[in-house]
Structures are given as C-alpha cells and as structure tokens.
Amino acid sequence: MSHSDPTPHQPDTSDAGSSMPVAPQYRAEPVAAAASVERPSSVTRAVQLMYVGAALSVVGIIVAWTTRSELREQVAAMTPSLDADGVESAVTISLMFATVIGVIGVGLWLWMAAANGAGKSWARVVATVLGGLGVLSAVFSLMSGTGITIASQLLSLVLAVAILVLLWRPASSAYFQARSARQV
C-alpha cells in the first residue's frame, strides 16, 4: 500500500516531519443503489379508491348545495321558533360548514393517496386512523340518516373498509416495510 492510498487503520505518514498527527483518510467506495421497490396492486388499488373518496367528497359538497331547499324545510320543521331569516341563516351556516369539511376531506384524501402511494409507513397509520373514524361516522350516520345520506354513508363505509383491507394486505405490508428501509 502506498502513502497516497492509506487504509482507515493506517494514518497518512507522508507529512512525517510535522508534529501534528494527521487524521486517517478514507477512500470513497461506490455505494450500490438500492433496488427499486415495486408498488403492489393492493396499494395501487387503495390509492385509486382514495381518489374515488376525494371525488365523493366533491360530490358531497355539490349535493349539499343542490338540496338547499330540503335542508331549509328540515331546519324550519326542527326549529319552529325561527323566523324565515333565522332559518335562512342556519341553512347558510350549515352549507358553509359542509363545504369547509368537504374541502378538508378532499385534501386529506389526496394527501393520503400520494403518501400511501409513495410507501410512507406513517401515512398508512394515519389512513388507518382516518378510515376508522370514517367507519364510525358512517355507522352513526346510518342510524339517523335518510335517503341520499344513507346511500352516501354506505358507500363511504364500503370505501373505507376496502381501503383499509388493501393497505394491510401482506404484499402492502412488505411494500411499506421495504420503502421505510430505503428511506432510513
């Protein structure tokens, strides 16, 4: 071994006349690139269903606004003490609230689709928590809903369960584990 090519255990002694010790130098060796991890179809399907969830959130906003007259009738029937202006204010507040929640829902669906598609383990956990909350919400809504609300909640329930099953399949788990190992 020459002085210009020291090993990690052998300090460079080319400057032997110096009173300062010279730190050992390390040779940079090429690092093998990690093989790319292919996303399994179960994760791809879950991501696609998350996009469907985002679309359904948009549809939910549209349906809320198009059923304004029915909402007005419900508010008037539930609170007979409100005058026409009070009913209209309650309806507007309800629709604005539904719109904000719907837009947040769209954002969450898209965020979870991107993060889970990329194999982020934390995203699978977050999607599981959100999915569990969605299942609970759907079950409670089914108890008190009517017509289109029940159909919408049944669809949401099936969607959430399907996504959770797909995200936790063995091939999905292997994908998330492999992606996490590459990111460390």
Q: Tens digit of pLDDT for each residue in 15-29?
A: 455 555 555 554 444
Asked whether residue 2 carries a pLDDT value surpassing 50, the answer given is: no
Domain extent listing, the chain: 41-173
User: Average pLDDT of 140-168?
Assistant: 87
Count other Cβ atoms within 10 Å, centred on residue 119: 20
**Confidence bin at 181 (pLDDT 50/70/90):** confident
pLDDT score of 132 = 94
pLDDT score of 72 = 92
pLDDT score of 142 = 81
